[in-house]
Chains A and B, each alone.
Chain A
Amino acid sequence: MTQYAVRRLLELVIVFFGVTFIIYCAVFLLPGDPIAALGGDRPLPGAVQRQLRLQYGLDLPIWQQYLNYLGGLLRGDFGTTFTGQSVGEQMARRWPTTIALALTAWTLTVLISVGLGLVSGLRRGSGIDKSVLLGTIVAESVPIFVLGVMAQYVFGIRMGWAPVAGVNAGWPAAYLLPALVVAVYGLSGVSRLMRGSVIDTMQSDFVRTLRAKGMTKRNIVGLHVMRNAAAPVMTVIAIQLGSLLGGTVVVEAIFNINGVGQLLYKAIQDQEGTTVVGVATTLVFIFLVTNVLVDILSTVLDPRIRND
């Protein structure tokens, strides 16, 4: 078990360096000159541009720039933007908002789709099963900006259940509506996976044995089927968390939430490479850590994986 965790953590470190290097190269080797763009329509004098390049180390070869960046990372320094702001501070203000939003959306996805998958798996072929399938596909095929605005209108303005925009009302009131909108887009995949997993498990021999032991249906489904069916679903759910963190951009815009998505969007527009790399790096880090955690959790759920 410990050996397994250590191996996974080692893999994590290697993947982390590989991925961040690729991101770094992709951002800074792209055509376009951020320093030249700083001045807008009136270009900065050549001497000033040279001075800035020297200051930001942009004259160095790319690998050296990357190593410098890594060195900074180890000291907890994410670098500064071309306008002199600390990237670390920029992110520190916004990550909590985005993480709260993503985690809320993720929890909603997991709860709703595992519930829906369980019900439709147990009542396979029934009206409920078919409407879950149809409902999740229809909901997912509506573009997010339409669904977001609709949700604002219906729940925010007509019903008045939740604030229309902004996060001033705090968690959970301000977060539930945007989180729900984000959550909709994970439902059909996870619920169908859960449904299949439940159907497979219900057909396995040990369920018959459990019935022969006199166990109640509630016990069989609640304990045995859930735990067996959960293992394959876990991995997909973990990947979902990663895509949720990066995928909140549009929702943050619709609901006027000042999160990392907005920051990233502006940084790309302004060619603020350091900010883009900073956000991407933290994103990769969170993604990798969740995956390792989930893999370790999976081995707890299913002992067969341990003897790999």
Chain B
Amino acid sequence: MSEPRLSVEELKVEFRGQNGAGVRAVDGVSFDVHDGEVVAVVGESGSGKSVTAMSVLGLLPKNATTTGSIRLGGEELVDAGLEALEAVRGRRAAMIFQDPFGALDPVFTIGFQIREVLGKHFPSLTGPERRQRVLDLLTAVELSEPEKRMSAFPHQLSGGQAQRVVIAMALACEPELLIADEPTTALDVTVQREILDLLIGVRERTGTAVLIITHDMGVVADVADRVVVMRRGRIEETQTVHGLFTRPTAEYTRQLLSSVPRLGAGDRQGVVEGHSVLVLDEVSVEYRQRFRAVRAVTGASLHIDRGEILALVGESGSGKSTLGKSIVGLAPVKSGRVLVDGVDISSVRGKDAIDYKKRVGVVFQNPLGALDPRYTMGEVIGEPLRVHAGLKGRPLASRVNELLEAVGLEPSWSGRYSHELSGGQRQRVAIARAIALDPVLLIADEPTSALDVSVQATILELFRRLQTELRFACLFISHDLAVVDSLADRVVVMRNSRIVEEGSRNEVLTHPREDYTRRLLESAPIPDPDLQKKRRREREAR
């Protein structure tokens, strides 16, 4: 094979802390990326995969020391001066980031921001030439109405459109290497599908070398040619994508692959009874903004029986979270009825309303945001017990310890604060708080979306166990069909504020009636490279 486009050898990155102690984030990493090749670096948070990507362009903060070698087309970048780096950045190697809105300056038009990078690297281009090039780029990334969008500001775009703009910006100077750091993590599955197709299309047209950083095995199986698995700053193994999924050599890779929830996993022991805990009857939610009203939920009806897990699936903006909020009274219900255990919550006031709230538990997506940073975990879990059950002193402490044990944490942890816990541990505490009052209904809004896959697997396991023991009804809101498949009894699909499909898990996930559900299923990245290739060919044939 010819000379690699990017060659990383024995890369080490160390961050100096404020007390002078060094933390080694990357510890002797070596890999190559060739022209026209897509190399994926996978790993969980803290594995050093993003630090590796940032170090290629020298974008690490000042307290980082980089040693080893990074060569782009033969040119050494590790000790390169700022001027040399600035000539490479955006010109020979360009980067795409996770959050497209964060990546764009909110106060300049997108046209300006793309022209800017052209102006930097091709100063000889005239104004009209630059404008034309921007138009070509926006057309190439399939942004609708490119002419009009040039003068749009980032906040006027959707997430997918903004990511297209970021990609156009990265492609502006026809770079030799494209680095994509979790480029689709912040996007919906169907949009993720489009963006990945776009990236693969670019690689095919231009032969650019692509380095993609991701934690999603489905994305890896879909786009990568070779895979580098990282853990704690080191490489666990480097393999072709096919080899990785069929014959993983490292124990860690096997573990990682087995944690990934897959569609079509085994059956769950159903615990459904004929007793409806939650009934939504033609519920509509409307938000008022000055002179116009925005319908977030339109005429939604569903029911959940005791012991049943109902999954509510949809993309961002579909109204699924709002529907969850309407049950706990956090969203303005315009019409319709919300019945919990036969009681209409819109008619209860005062003491009854408080009584009602005791019977519904909620777990949110971001556990760090959901836990008071100034409360110890014991206080967090004890608060509902103190307020609603009137517990104090020794009985309170022993109940808190019971709950901590129930979610798999040591009772001694009750004195810790949320910043001392990992993401998975925080979510365990949030779950302990939600089940503290033995609720009849639990609302879980994307409880594992912010977690690493291996952590997600353990939290889902915990969730399943608690639900079998405590037999609460559960509304499980998620965008991840594989998670839903491993957990739910029934599935409800929402789109544009309406419920479009409802049925048992098997029905919906294997024989979807609606086009939209089918598209969702097709877009979900599956951790199987052969199947993904087949799907891609099918899409291209269409």
Q: Give A contacts to B, CB under 8 Å.
A: 204-206, 208-216, 219, 224, 227-228, 231, 301-304, 307
Please, how many angstroms separate the alpha-carbon atoms of A115 and B121 in the complex?
30
Is B105 within 8 A of A214, CB to CB?
no
Assess whether B404 is interfacial by the CB under 8 Å rule. no
Q: List 10 A-B contacts (CB under 8 A).
A: A209-B104, A209-B169, A211-B57, A212-B97, A213-B89, A214-B86, A215-B116, A215-B117, A227-B108, A228-B105
Please, how many angstroms separate the alpha-carbon atoms of A304 and B155 in the complex?
7
Smallest CB–CB gap between B90 and chain A, Å? Answer: 4
Please, how many angstroms separate the alpha-carbon atoms of A211 and B58 in the complex?
9
Is B87 within 8 A of A214, CB to CB?
yes
Is B107 within 8 A of A228, CB to CB?
yes
Contact of B155 (CB < 8 Å), options: A205, A213, A214, A307: A307
Interface size, B (range): 20 to 34
Smallest CB–CB gap between A218 and chain B, Å? Answer: 11
Assess whether B417 is interfacial by the CB under 8 Å rule. no
Nearest B residue to A220, CB-CB: B105
Assess whether B99 is interfacial by the CB under 8 Å rule. yes
Please, how many angstroms separate the alpha-carbon atoms of A228 and B107 in the complex?
7
Assess whether B337 is interfacial by the CB under 8 Å rule. no
7 other contacts beyond A214-B90, A303-B155, A304-B153, with CB at 8 A cut-off?
A: A209-B97, A211-B89, A213-B89, A214-B86, A214-B91, A227-B107, A303-B106
Assess whether B13 is interfacial by the CB under 8 Å rule. no
Is A213 within 8 A of B105, CB to CB?
no
Is A210 within 8 A of B105, CB to CB?
yes
Mask, B344-379, CB within 8 Å of A = 1, is 000000000000000000000000000000000000
Assess whether B94 is interfacial by the CB under 8 Å rule. yes
Please, how many angstroms separate the alpha-carbon atoms of A307 and B155 in the complex?
10
Is A303 within 8 A of B99, CB to CB?
no
Please, how many angstroms separate the alpha-carbon atoms of A209 and B89 in the complex?
10
Is B97 within 8 A of A215, CB to CB?
no
State the 6 A-B residue pairs at the shortest beta-carbon distance, nearest first.
A205-B102, A214-B89, A214-B90, A213-B90, A212-B95, A209-B103
Smallest CB–CB gap between A302 and chain B, Å? Answer: 5
Please, how many angstroms separate the alpha-carbon atoms of A133 and B85 in the complex?
35
Is B104 within 8 A of A212, CB to CB?
no
Point out which of B59, B103, B169 has the most chain A C-beta atoms below 10 A from its C-beta: B103
Please, how many angstroms separate the alpha-carbon atoms of A19 and B120 in the complex?
52
Smallest CB–CB gap between A173 and chain B, Å? Answer: 39
Please, how many angstroms separate the alpha-carbon atoms of A214 and B173 in the complex?
11
Is B97 within 8 A of A208, CB to CB?
yes
Is A204 within 8 A of B94, CB to CB?
no
- Contact A205/B121 with A211-B59, A212-B57 known, Cβ cut-off 8 Å: no
Nearest A residue to B169, CB-CB: A213
Contact of A302 (CB < 8 Å), options: B97, B104, B106: B106
Please, how many angstroms separate the alpha-carbon atoms of A213 and B85 in the complex?
10
Smallest CB–CB gap between A222 and chain B, Å? Answer: 13
Is A212 within 8 A of B116, CB to CB?
no
Q: Which residues of B156-186 are within 8 A (CB) of A?
A: 156, 166, 169
Is A213 within 8 A of B116, CB to CB?
yes
